[in-house]
Structure 1
């Protein structure tokens, strides 16, 4: 079975978030809201801080859309705190980071590189019912674009709120959508 349309499997992870004590996150914490799992290979690396910072710049926008964000790597929550405390880019980030040293999340989302013990550079968007609606996986050297992630989530939220409608390529909030029907076959 493909991962799109599947339900998030049970997990338990310890989180680090700026200004808070360490805390536990489970699949139960996802209920009723949109969630982003933003996997990256490792703390104290090169592309990772640039894309994590980029996502951090969109965090207030995402929170306003009722979306929670979790940065996830196979590092521990202690490593996440140390990186936050020593990096200018990571030190600005307000969303929580999950420690996945036991590889539970990386295996659940099928993004663990077993031979290295690291997660792929991967993004998953989960709807309020715990169903995976969006995924993106890039190679090690290619960072992601958080503005595009926000656009995709807006589209997914629109489709969920408007059954029978779909968002065409490059759809932006407020743009026209499509209502798939037999009449449209071969006319787009």
Structure 2
């Protein structure tokens, strides 16, 4: 699995971006959000139980990610048409403010090293800086949903370019290594 310090792979995928007729799909690639922070998160498959809870939670925080110049992008191995059907079917997914990328050839999940033995994406998240370098990665068991607020907290910490202690939150003091070494 790719991790901190690795370059996020190049990709070109179709995404479900809307339920509006004629505006449902868009091509998105590794340069679409060039120069921005990106939050990529993968879920195993559509029409499941844990996945929509996470997707909806990322959706509710999209504005906060945008305030930090970060674009949220979700994906699974399902096609854009399956994403569209799921969005139409599930009330919490209808108005998602971020693209649902269709990695139907499983190229992105393979390049990231998150495809499981059954051919599904592992429940993974990657925080990628404006230079396309992975700054944070995490995978949970398929039965355990992620906490998008924690991903936002990690993004805040990364964007300080400072040393951030355990449980640090935006607005908290960062660590001053020089002062700590001198005993201040």
Mark yes or no: TM-score above 0.5.
Answer: yes
Match of 2:166 in 1: 169
User: How far apart are the structure 2 equivalents of 1:152 and 1:75?
Assistant: 28
Q: Find out whether 1:83 has 2:86 as its counterpart.
A: yes
Match of 1:131 in 2: 133
Structure 2 unaligned segments of length 5 or more: list them. none
The Cα of 1:55 is off from its aligned counterpart by: 1.0
Alignment of 1:136-155 (within 5 A): 136-155=138-157
Q: Find out whether 1:61 has 2:64 as its counterpart.
A: yes
The Cα of 1:185 is off from its aligned counterpart by: 5.5
- CA distances 1:36-63 after superposition (whole Å, capped 9, x unpaired): 1110000000100111111111011111
Alignment of 1:115-130 (within 5 A): 115-130=117-132
Q: Find out whether 1:40 has 2:36 as its counterpart.
A: no
The Cα of 1:180 is off from its aligned counterpart by: 2.9
TM-score (norm 2): 0.91
Q: How many residues align?
A: 181
The Cα of 1:2 is off from its aligned counterpart by: 5.6
The Cα of 1:153 is off from its aligned counterpart by: 0.7
Match of 1:180 in 2: 177
TM-score (norm 1): 0.89
Match of 1:105 in 2: 108
Structure 1 unaligned segments of length 5 or more: list them. 160-164
SS of corresponding position for 1:78: helix
User: How far apart are the structure 2 equivalents of 1:79 and 1:23?
Assistant: 15
Stretches (4+) displaced over 6 A = none
SS of corresponding position for 1:130: coil
User: How far apart are the structure 2 equivalents of 1:73 and 1:15?
Assistant: 10
Match of 1:22 in 2: 25
